[in-house]
Amino acid sequence: MTPQSPTGGHRRLSKAAVLGLGLVLAALFFGCGRMPPEPWWEPTSEDSAAIDALVQANKAMFRQAFTEGALAYADTSLPGTTATRLQSEIDDIPYRPRFRCDSIEHRFFTDSFDLQYTFIAGLDTTEQETTATVTMAETIPGILRMHAYAYTRYLGDTVIIEPPDTIVLPVYDSVFSDTSMYVEKRFWGQSVDGMVFKKENGEWKLWKYGGGSRFYAPSPDEAPYLASCDIADPDTTITIQLRPDTTQYGIQRFYAESELPTYHVGDSISVSSVLTTVLDAANYSFLNHVRHEFSAADKIPLDQPGVFRLFVEQIPIEVLYEQAGDAVMLVWGVTIKVE
């Protein structure tokens, strides 16, 4: 029953699979009938160096930056129908260790890993603008650490004989006993993000932000599917959509700074109203490494100006009471502006 402490948390991963590097070359307008077409624009080594410098300058924002420095309180009742569901699962399947936690902590091991990205650059034939769309993809390891205050005790093994197999299963108690122990679950999350730069007067500048990053653990297929959530302040509610083809704010679209959801220093916001396929989950939001409950009642203070990522997380509830298995989660990093 003793959980294992993480070892080698900062081991370097093999290079994360990144999106293919390509160059989109757009044909320029032809002039009058006898005018030859202008030469195609192609990025130079100086362009690549300038783009890399901009990526590095903004790297802090485009990481999964909500590592917590210590264990922080989590709702001990757990959300939804968990109490009934958990007791039913214990009665039906007594072969798994379970626990109840009162605090959790996220740790991302990002220091030992390089941000990986590719870019596609080209000339917009309509606006005659030179832009570069940068796509970032990386695999980030970490642990979800939990403090358990109760657990089901190991009682012994049961033998099931189904010729030609003999199955030995550990049996655990059907009631919880008091304890104080730590449970740690590893994850290897896949993160996707992006931004758009524009070249003006010979200088590359950040032009548009991605509506949000997407972080899946252990993979997009196994992580929860979140379709939308709401961000509310005292006056308005903004629906954040996964889909890019929407009139609502979409995390898969690009936005100029003036188009981002905008709030003011001194405002308080909350995140709630998820549309998801996961019926029983723990939902949290993070701003500046501080975790908040995912509800209209838990207000997130905005105390400094700038462009930030508001992280929205969903964890299937069984991750927080099944002692076996790795961590499973989905995290959006919604881009917001505070002025």
Instruction: Locate the domains of the chain by residue range.
Output: 45-338
pLDDT at 162 over 60: yes
CB 197 within 8 A of CB 205: yes
What are the backbone dihedrals phi and psi of residue 88, each rounded to the nearest 5 degrees, phi first?
A: -65, -40
Omega before 244 within 30 of 0, i.e. cis: no
Tell which wins on pLDDT, 8 or 286. Answer: 286
Q: Rounded mean pLDDT of the chain?
A: 81
For the whole model, what pTM was predicted? 0.81
**Residue 131, by phi and psi: left (phi above 0), alpha (psi -120 to 50) or beta?**
beta
Of residues 303 and 126, more confidence is placed in 303
Alpha-carbon span 162 to 165, nearest angstrom: 5
Query: What is the maximum alpha-carbon separation in the chain?
Result: 90
Q: Give me the sign of the Cα torsion angle 80, 85, 90, 91.
A: positive
* Residue 254: pLDDT over 50: yes
Q: Are the C-beta atoms of residues 103 and 72 closer than 8 Å to each other?
A: yes
The pLDDT value recorded for residue 258 is: 95
- pLDDT at 328 (0 to 100): 95
Beta bridge partner(s), residue 145: 105, 184
* 172-184 residue pLDDT tens: 999 999 999 999 9
Is 60 exceeded by the pLDDT of residue 276?
A: yes
- Please determine, for residue 307, whether its predicted confidence score (pLDDT) is greater than 50: yes
